[in-house]
Structure 1
Amino acid sequence: MNAPTFTMASAKMPDGPRITAQAHAQPWRKWAEPALRDQWQKLAEGASTPNPFFEPWYLLPSLAAFDQAGDVQIVSVEIGGDLIGLMPLKPSRRYGRWPFPQLSAWLHANAFLGAPLVRNGYEAMFWQALLDWADAAPSVGQSLFLHLPAMPLDQPLTRILFDLCSATGRTAGLVMREERALLQSSLSPDQYLEAALPGKKRKELRRQHARLTEQGQLAVDRRHDASDLAEWTEAFLALERSGWKGRAGSAMASADETATLFRNALGEAARLGKLERLALTLDGHPIAMLVTFITAPGSFSYKTAFDESFARFSPGVLLQRENLALLQREGVSWCDSCAAPDHPMIDSLWTERRAVGRISVAIGGLIRRTLFKQLLALELGRNPTGITR
C-alpha cells in the first residue's frame, strides 16, 4: 500500500457545472508534512461531523504509536486541489474471527469515533469518490467490503452514505448498533440535574459534597489554556494508574505508547484551543479529573479518573455535576461521553443517547459484491433489515 492511487467521481451541483472529485491514497507519514497537515486541520474545522480522533493532532501521534510498519494509508478526496474529505484506512485479512479480507477505517482502543472528516455539503461527493477508489485501487487487494466502525448514526454524513448506496445499487448494511450517553440540552446545569436525577439522589450528592468538604479544602479547577499543563497531565496519568484501570493494565500510563499519546494529544489540543481540563481538588491535590476535547459545535469526554480512596464520596459523580457547565459553554451544543453502552455512572446522569454502529459496504466487481451480499445476509440473519441494495 505504498503507491498513491487515484479515482474520480463527478456530480452536477445544483447551481453550477459538473465538478469532479478525486480520491487519493498516500502513506500516512506523508501527511505529517506541514503544508498537508495545515490543509487537514482546516478541513477538520469545517467538517460536517466533528471527530477529534481523525484530526491531525490526534491521529498522527496515534499512528506513530500503533502503526510503526506504515500499513495505514490516508485516503483523501479533493476537488480541484481543494481537500473535501479524509479518513485512515487499512486492509485486513480477517473480519473478527472470520478469515474474510476487508478494508476498514483505522481505529485503536483510545479512539472513539470512526466518522471521516468531510467538508459540510460535500458528503455525497466524498462517499462516491471513496467507494469508486475502493472498487478499483490495487492496494485494496481482494478485500470483500469496506468496513466502517463507530459511525455516528444520527448524522447526515451516515444517512447520505446509505442513500447513495441505495440509489446506486450498492449493498450496505448496519451490522451493529449501540447507544452511549450524550449531553445535549437547552436546560441550565441546575435544571438538567433536577430533571436527570431523582430528589433522593440529588440529596445524596449534596450530602457527599458536604462530607467531602469536612476532609479539607475542596475546590473545582477548570482550565481552557495550557497553564501548568505538563504537571496536570502527569497528575492525571498517576491518578488513573492508581485505580482499577491501572490494575487492569488499561490506564494510559500502563504503556509507553499510550502515555506518550496522551501527553502529545493534550499538548496539541491546548495549543489549538480544543482542550478543557476539569479537576476536583482536596487541599490542592486532585481526587477526580476529566479531559474533554472541544470540537465545536460538539465536544468529546475523552478521559476521566478519580481517587478510589475517596470512593464513598463519589468524587467522579461530583466532578460530572460540575461538568454540566458545558451546557452553557458558547459554541458547544453537545458532548459525546465516549463511554461504553450502559455505563453505570454516566448513563444515570446524562439522559440523551448517541447511536453509533458498524457499517459494511460492498466494493469491487460483481464477484466480490455477490460474495459480500451473501456474507452480510449470514451476519444479519435470515431477515436482514439493515441492508440496502
Structure 2
Amino acid sequence: MVDIAHQAAINPASAKDAAMAHARVPLTAIEPGQWRALAQRAIEPNGYYLPAWELAVSATARGRTGAQALPAFDGSSTRLIGLMPVISLWQAWNIPLPALVSAHPYGTLCSPLIDRDCSAQAAPRLLQQAREAGAHALILRDVALDGAAMTSLNDTLGRSGLKPRVLSSYIRASLDATRDADKLLHEGLGAKKLKELRRQRHRLEEHGPVLFDVARRPDEIRPALETFLQLEASGWKGKRGTALLQDAGDATFIRRAVPALAETAQCEIITLRAGTSAVAAGIVLRHQDRAFFFKLGIDEHFAKYSPGVQLTLELTRHLCADPAIASADSTASADHPMINPIWRGRFAIGDVLIPLRRNDPVVALIHAAFVARNVARETARRAIHLLRK
C-alpha cells in the first residue's frame, strides 16, 4: 500500500489523489466475509446491499455497473463497521459537481450498512470517507427517512452543525408480520373483497389444484427463478421492454444473485400454481428480521383471477407465520394499486442531500442542479403525456 504521509512530503497533489483513492474503493475490494459480518450487525436491514446482491448488480445490471464503496473501519482498521456503495454525481445524472450518490441496487432501498454495535463511530467515519474522496455532499437515494441508519447519520450531522435536506419523499407500503395474517387481511381488504377473491380462487381451481410453493434451496431456486423470469417477460413488463430477461446484463445479475443468496437462506422464490401452470411468481429477499418483496410476475392469461393478488395473500400468510420475520418492505412505488390495500403499514422513503462541510457554496450549487434536473424531468414527462393524448 502507498505510504500517503511519505508521498505527501514529496508531492502534495499526488498524495491527495492517493488519499482520495483510498477513501473510495471498488466494491470487489471489500472482503466478502467482513461485508457479510457487517450485514449481520447492521443497525437497519437492507437486503439490496447484501454482498451477493450488490456485487452482482454492480458487475452486470443495466445502468447500474461500476459502483464503488465508502468503507468505515474501527480504530484497529480490522473490523468493517460501515459500508455505503456509491457512484459519482456525474455517473448518476451527468452533473459535473463534486458529490457522491448512493449506488442504486435495483431494489428501491439504499440505506447504508451501519454497525449497530458502534454506530456512533461508523456514521462519522462514513461521512469522513466521503470528504476524503473529494465529495462536498452525499445524495442518498431511496433511504428510509425514519430508519435507524438515517437517524444515526442525522445524529452525526447535528453534532457537526450540519443539516440534511430532504429532496423528495413518498410513503411506501409495508407489512407488520408479527400480526395474525387473516385479521390483517380482513382489516385491509374487508369481508366483501375477500369473498370476491375467494370466488376467483375457486374459479382458478377449475384449471387444477391451486398450490403455493416456496423455493429456498439453491437446487430448487434455479428452476423457480426461470419460471419467474418467463412470467415477468410474458406480461406488461415484457411489452414495455423492462423485464429482467430482456437485457443480458440484468439476466446475468439476477441469475447470479438469487442462487448466491439462497446459499445463506436470504432469498426465496414464491410461486402460485393452478395444476401444472405457474400463474404468478415473485422474488423475496430476507435480511435479519425483514423481508423485501422485490418483483412479481404473472401469467396474464389468468388475469381475471387476480393471480398477483392471490400470490400476495399467500405471501402475507407465509411471512406472518414465520417467527424469524417481523416486517416486510414492499419496495413498491407510492400508492401502488395492488400492494397498498393489502399491506397497510406505511413508512417514508426519500432522497436526502447531506452536506459534508459547513457554509459550503458548492453544496448550494449541487442542490440547485438537482432541483433543475427534477424540474426538467417533470416538464418532459408532462409534455410526453400531452402528446399522447
**Displacement, 1:365?**
7.0
**Displacement, 1:374?**
6.6
Encode CA deviations 1:72-131: one digit per residue, 9 max, x unaligned. 3212111111111111122223775865442111115x2321111111132232221122
- Answering whether residue 353 of structure 2 is matched by residue 354 of structure 1, we say no
> What is the aligned counterpart of 2:102 among 102, 105, 109?
105
Q: How many residues align?
A: 353
Paired amino acid for 1:196: G
Counterpart-to-counterpart distance in 1, 2:330 and 2:322: 16
5+ residue gaps in structure 1?
Answer: 7-22, 382-389
> What is the aligned counterpart of 2:114 among 87, 104, 118?
118
TM-score (norm 1): 0.83
**Displacement, 1:371?**
3.4
> What is the aligned counterpart of 1:51 among 29, 46, 66?
46
8 A contact 2:58–2:64 mirrored in 1: no
Paired amino acid for 1:213: E
| Cα distance change of structure 1 residues 378 and 70 upon mapping to structure 2, 3 Å threshold | closer
Counterpart-to-counterpart distance in 2, 1:183 and 1:299: 9
8 A contact 1:242–1:307 mirrored in 2: yes
| Cα distance change of structure 1 residues 220 and 123 upon mapping to structure 2, 3 Å threshold | same
> What is the aligned counterpart of 1:178 among 170, 176, 180?
170
- Answering whether residue 126 of structure 2 is matched by residue 134 of structure 1, we say no
Encode CA deviations 1:152-200: one digit per residue, 9 max, x unaligned. 1221221222222122112321111111110015321111111111221
8 A contact 2:89–2:98 mirrored in 1: yes
Paired amino acid for 2:237: K
Higher helix share: 2
**Displacement, 1:343?**
0.6
RMSD of Structure 2 on Structure 1 (CA)? 2.7
Paired amino acid for 2:361: T
Counterpart-to-counterpart distance in 2, 1:42 and 1:133: 20
1:370 aligned partner = 361
Counterpart-to-counterpart distance in 1, 2:352 and 2:117: 21
Q: How does 1:340-351 map to 2 (within 5 A)?
A: 340-351=333-344
- DSSP 3-state at the match of 1:112: coil
Counterpart-to-counterpart distance in 2, 1:180 and 1:252: 23
| Cα distance change of structure 1 residues 98 and 38 upon mapping to structure 2, 3 Å threshold | closer
Encode CA deviations 1:196-232: one digit per residue, 9 max, x unaligned. 1122111100110111111223222123323432221
Encode CA deviations 1:302-338: one digit per residue, 9 max, x unaligned. 1111100110000111111111120121211000011
TM-score (norm 2): 0.83
8 A contact 2:172–2:332 mirrored in 1: yes
8 A contact 2:24–2:69 mirrored in 1: yes
Paired amino acid for 2:38: L
Q: How does 1:320-339 map to 2 (within 5 A)?
A: 320-325=312-317, 326-339=319-332
1:72 aligned partner = 67
5+ residue gaps in structure 2?
Answer: 6-21, 373-389
**Displacement, 1:380?**
8.1
Give the % identical residues: 28
2:259 aligned partner = 267
Counterpart-to-counterpart distance in 1, 2:321 and 2:254: 27
Paired amino acid for 2:88: P
Counterpart-to-counterpart distance in 2, 1:83 and 1:200: 52
Q: How does 1:128-207 map to 2 (within 5 A)?
A: 128-135=124-131, 137=132, 139-140=133-134, 143-207=135-199
8 A contact 1:115–1:150 mirrored in 2: yes
Q: Which moved more, 1:315-324 or 1:369-378?
A: 369-378
2:379 aligned partner = none
Q: How does 1:203-282 map to 2 (within 5 A)?
A: 203-282=195-274
Paired amino acid for 1:335: A
2:82 aligned partner = 85
